[in-house]
Amino acid sequence: MLGISHSGIRLIKQNRLATSGDRLQVLETFSFDMIQQVSSIRNGLCIDIQLAKKTIAIHSQRVRDFL
């Protein structure tokens, strides 16, 4: 999942635990200062986020829901 806050974005993973339900784990955080460019939606399925040292491609069938 992708989380957006006032300070930046977070890549989040949902862990399903039988005993305590769902938990969210932050995998990585990027401040808005680190983000150089965000591409438009390609093929209705993908968004590219260009950071200073790498590019993150986010793929989802649900991207189409926001068009």
* More confident position, 6 or 64: 6
Span 30-51, pLDDT tens digits: 999 999 998 877 777 888 889 9
**Angstrom distance (rounded) from CA 35 to CA 17:** 33
How far is residue 4 from each of residues 28, 44, 56, measured CA to CA in Å?
Answer: 12, 20, 15
33 token code pair: 């200062």
Least confident of 4-8, 19-23, 37-41, 48-52: 19-23
* More confident position, 30 or 16: 30
Q: Is the pTM of this model over 0.85?
A: no
